[in-house]
Amino acid sequence: MKYNYPELDALDWSSIKPHVDALLAEELTHGNIRAWLQRWSDLESVLDEKVSWIHRAITENTADEKANERFKKLVQDVYPQWQVVEQKLKAKWMLVEDYEPDEETAQVYRRFKAEMDLFTEENIPIQTELQLRRKRYEEIIGGLSIEWKDESLTIPQAEALLGNRDRAVRKQVWRKIMDAHLAHRDELNELFMDLLAKRRQIAKNAGFPDYRSYAWISRGRFDYTPEDCIIFHDAIEQKVAPLTSEMHRYLAGEIGVDRLRPWETSIGSPWLPTVDPYEEPLQPFRDVVELEEAGQRVFTQVHPDFGGYFQSMRDGFLDLASRPNKAPGGYMNSFPISGRAYIFMNAVGSHRNFRTLMHEGGHAFHFFEAFQHQSLIWNYHSPMEFSEVASMSMEQLSMPYWRKEAGGVYDESDYRRAVREQLIGTITFLPYMAVVDKFQHWLYTKAPEDVSPADLDAKWAELWDRFLPGIDYSGLDAEKATGWHRKAHIFGVPFYYIEYGLAQIGALQVWRNALDDQEQAVADYRRALAAGYTKPLPELFQLANARFAFDPETVGELMDLIRVEMEKYF
């Protein structure tokens, strides 16, 4: 039974406070604890719903002064107080004697307990410092520009020129982009060494032998170990890297060069080629009306209920068109009081936009399914390792319906092209992901106390050569070795990245199941979505009829499957 807070204004702390005080004052017994959790959850839902509306407003119109004011009020007045209260509520729950969480509360209890255990007063100022230093990284990278034909271009603007069909242009632009980064090489090195020292200190203060073991708990990784990740890296090196090299050779041939050089690849996604072998880009839709209609047809075919969810979103919960003053990117957001899901993106007619709609659709349906089956807010969203299975699987599950004759948007030849792109993107990402992750495992556990930026460069270059030999960096040692400077996650959110690789392995298994029996695969997938975050990762994957896997056998089987499928589309 959900509790209502009809009179509550989430932006006014004085209206929230009495409810918080009541929660804190209540004497907890085994008998009343579930009802107490529901009231806490519902109070948090009121705040969360408000946050979603405000976030929506400021991304839909970054110049919306009123929304920005509300956001500031939230961050300055409400959040800090809410955080203190949350700590107290968690502590209160953890202190209940002889408490055994049940199936519904086991995951959230485990999470909260770990968070409490990590907490040490000493680390608060260091965490604040880290936040500021992280911002410095964004400032440096965000401030880079190049001069091109008497114009100053930001890096994303310059990157668009890497798709130019003239190799000389690409090379020149790439050179300038690298020089812009290398001009800050010392500063970035110094910044990172400082981050590293602070992270080591944080781990020490919290009583951990190294930062990796601290990060493991703080990222909520209860269901897999660092050793599992090492096995996964090896599996990718053995089973995926060779296929990735083949793909890089194939793509080089497609664009008419002997082998891919870095100026044929993206700066932000250096595993992906920038040059389209075709003169004309794929154009799945002309405007967002067409995109919505296509989404409706495709999702309905994956499952009528998904079509129903999407239909409900078309009633004011989609903002798909690109326009001035809109924030960049795309995301899905949920509203835990009204039970609505919302998709934001900047569609301009590209295949990438179409794929984004499929992806975010998967996130939205995950919320709808979990919301119907769960009643505590902490159970609505599963961990990243699985929520990305929900979204990536929807890309794959929807694939059969991308064809015009199946309700989609592409004629036969464009359809084949889109599928090829999908499969190539999947394969080539994994080795890069492994480099980013393996680099950090080494850095936080194996690197000596007095490790130097030169050591980091050497390690990155060594891993790059092992996992991504298909892109020819010869004669470009400094550019290759400083690749880690261009990966924001390494500076900002250490260890956060492998989630996408693990989810990809899950999504590929869902796709494998669907190739065999689409209807059954969708049914299993829905069952897993409905579980929200009430099960550990291996069980969530299991519900989707997939294994939460790291091993070379599973990875190898999926790569074999991709090879077979590719035969049909290449």
* Measured distance between the N- and C-terminal CA atoms of the chain, rounded to whole angstroms: 54
- Nearer to Zn ion among residue 48 and residue 499 (C-beta): 499
Nearest-approach distance from CB 193 to Zn ion, in angstroms: 32
- Nearer to Zn ion among residue 382 and residue 391 (C-beta): 391
Q: Which residue is nearest to Zn ion (CB)?
A: 391
Map residues 342-381 to x or -, x wherever contact with Zn ion holds by CB under 5 A.
----------------------------------------
Site residues for Zn ion, 261-300, by CB under 5 A, read none
Q: Give the DSSP letter of residue 345.
A: E
**Cα–chain center distance at 113:** 25
Site residues for Zn ion, 519-548, by CB under 5 A, read none
Angstrom CA distances, 351 to 281, 293, 411, 418, 565, stand at 8, 15, 13, 8, 20
- Nearer to Zn ion among residue 178 and residue 392 (C-beta): 392
- Nearer to Zn ion among residue 379 and residue 391 (C-beta): 391
- Nearer to Zn ion among residue 170 and residue 381 (C-beta): 381
Question: Which helix or strand (DSSP H or E) is residue 347 part of?
Answer: strand 340-347
- Nearer to Zn ion among residue 207 and residue 329 (C-beta): 329
Nearest-approach distance from CB 497 to Zn ion, in angstroms: 13
Nearest-approach distance from CB 359 to Zn ion, in angstroms: 6
Nearest-approach distance from CB 332 to Zn ion, in angstroms: 8
Positive/negative CA dihedral, 555, 464, 436, 454: positive
Which residue shows structure tokens 């209940």? 96
Nearest-approach distance from CB 363 to Zn ion, in angstroms: 6
Nearest-approach distance from CB 499 to Zn ion, in angstroms: 10
- Nearer to Zn ion among residue 387 and residue 534 (C-beta): 387
Contacts of 322-329 spanning 24+ positions with Cβ under 8 A: 322/346, 322/347, 322/348, 325/61, 325/62, 325/63, 326/59, 326/60, 326/61, 326/62, 327/58, 327/59, 327/60, 327/62
Map residues 380-419 to x or -, x wherever contact with Zn ion holds by CB under 5 A.
-----------x----------------------------
- Nearer to Zn ion among residue 45 and residue 391 (C-beta): 391
- Nearer to Zn ion among residue 244 and residue 391 (C-beta): 391
CB atoms within 10 A of CB 413: 9
CB atoms within 10 A of CB 467: 24
Nearest-approach distance from CB 253 to Zn ion, in angstroms: 32
**Rounded distance, CA 362 to CA 421, Å?**
19
- Nearer to Zn ion among residue 214 and residue 368 (C-beta): 368
Nearest-approach distance from CB 94 to Zn ion, in angstroms: 32
Pairing of strands 318-321, 340-347: parallel
Nearest-approach distance from CB 343 to Zn ion, in angstroms: 11
- Taking alpha carbons only, the member of 228, 202, 223, 9 closest to residue 118 is 202
- Nearer to Zn ion among residue 299 and residue 464 (C-beta): 299
Contact 342, 366 (CB under 8 A): no
Nearest-approach distance from CB 205 to Zn ion, in angstroms: 33
Phi-psi region of 334 (alpha: psi -120 to 50; beta: other; left: phi over 0): beta
Which residue shows structure tokens 């059969």? 400
Map residues 135-154 to x or -, x wherever contact with Zn ion holds by CB under 5 A.
--------------------
Determine the size of the site formed for Zn ion (CB under 5 A): 1
Nearest-approach distance from CB 391 to Zn ion, in angstroms: 4
* Rg of the chain over all Cα atoms, to the nearest angstrom: 24
CB atoms within 10 A of CB 91: 12
Contact 234, 241 (CB under 8 A): no
Residue 557 CB contacts under 8 Å (≥ 6 apart), including other chains: none
**Which residues are at the interface with Zn ion (CB under 5 A)?**
391
